[in-house]
């Protein structure tokens, strides 16, 4: 029967960017920043819909 070495300390691991991620998360709740976040959502939707149309035009021989 073998004995395993038991680790008696616990390491606290954080991402090296965690401080910046915390600041970005806090900024999301300011009123000025919330308006910017709403516009980001609209931009992403436009990009995704444009990509779908381009994909359809490339792979559909009949066109859009």
Question: What's the pLDDT at 40?
Answer: 72
pLDDT at 63: 56
Q: What is the pLDDT of residues 8-64, one digit of tens each?
A: 777 778 888 899 999 988 888 888 877 777 777 677 777 778 877 777 777 776 655
pLDDT value, residue 19: 92
The pLDDT assigned to 64 comes to 53
CB 42 within 8 A of CB 53: no
Q: pLDDT value at position 12? A: 75
């Amino acid at each position: 029967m073998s004995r395993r070495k038991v680790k008696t300390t616990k390491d606290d691991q954080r991402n090296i960017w965690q401080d910046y991620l915390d600041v970005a998360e806090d900024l999301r709740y300011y009123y000025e920043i919330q308006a910017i976040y709403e516009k980001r959502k609209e931009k992403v939707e436009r990009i995704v819909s444009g990509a779908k149309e381009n994909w359809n035009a490339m792979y559909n021989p009949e066109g859009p």
